[in-house]
A = this chain, B = another copy of it.
Amino acid sequence: MIHLGIEEFIALPESEQVPYIGENAVIYAQQFDRNNLEYLCRLSDVARKIHKIEKGADFLKQLLRHRLVLNFFIQPSSRTFLSFNAAETILGMSRMSVRDAKISSISKGETLSDSLRTFLSYVDLVVMRHPEDISCSIAYWISAMASRRLNINGENRPIPIVSGGAGKAQHPTQALLDIYTLQKSFENVGGIDGKTIMLVGDLKRGRTVRSLSYLMKNFNDVKLLFCAPNEYKMSQDIIDFIDKNDNISYENVDSISDAITEVDAIYMTRIQDEHDKLTHDLGHVKAENKYVFRMEHLKQMKKEAYLLHPLPKRDEIEEAIDFANDPRVVYWRQERNGMWMRVAIIAKLFGVGDQILDF
**Interface residues, chain A, CB within 8 Å of chain B?**
51, 54, 57-58, 61, 65-66, 68, 70, 73, 76-79, 82-83, 85-86, 89, 94, 96, 98-100, 102-110, 113-115, 117-119, 121-123, 145-148, 270, 274, 284, 311-314, 322-323, 325, 332-333, 335-336, 339
Contact A77 B103 (CB under 8 A): yes
Given contacts A83-B121, A109-B284, A122-B339, 13 further A-B contacts (CB under 8 A): A61-B65, A70-B82, A78-B105, A79-B118, A83-B122, A107-B274, A108-B314, A114-B311, A114-B312, A114-B313, A118-B311, A118-B335, A147-B325
Copies in the complex: 3
The 8 Å CB contact of A104, one of B77, B118, B313, is B77
Q: How far is the CA of A313 from the CA of B83 in the complex (A)?
A: 34
A–B Cβ pairs within 8 angstroms, 10 of them: A68-B89, A77-B104, A78-B105, A78-B106, A82-B96, A85-B96, A99-B103, A107-B274, A110-B311, A114-B311
Evaluate contact between B274 and A332: CB separation under 8 angstroms: no
What residues of B have a CB within 8 angstroms of the CB of A123 in the complex?
Answer: 82, 86
CB distance from A294 to the nearest CB of B (A): 17
User: Given the known A-B contacts A54-B66, A103-B76, A122-B86, are A332 and B96 also in contact in the complex, defined by CB atoms under 8 Å?
Assistant: no
Contact of A78 among B66, B115, B335 (CB under 8 A): B115
Top 5 A-B residue pairs of the complex, sorted by shortest distance between their CB atoms: A110-B312, A89-B94, A121-B335, A105-B312, A78-B105
A122: nearest residue on chain B (CB-CB)?
Answer: B86
Chain B residues with Cβ below 8 Å from A322 are 113-114, 117
Tell me, rounded to whole Å, the shortest Cβ–Cβ distance linking A224 to chain B: 25
With most chain B CB atoms within 10 A of its CB, the pick from A70, A108, A332 is A108
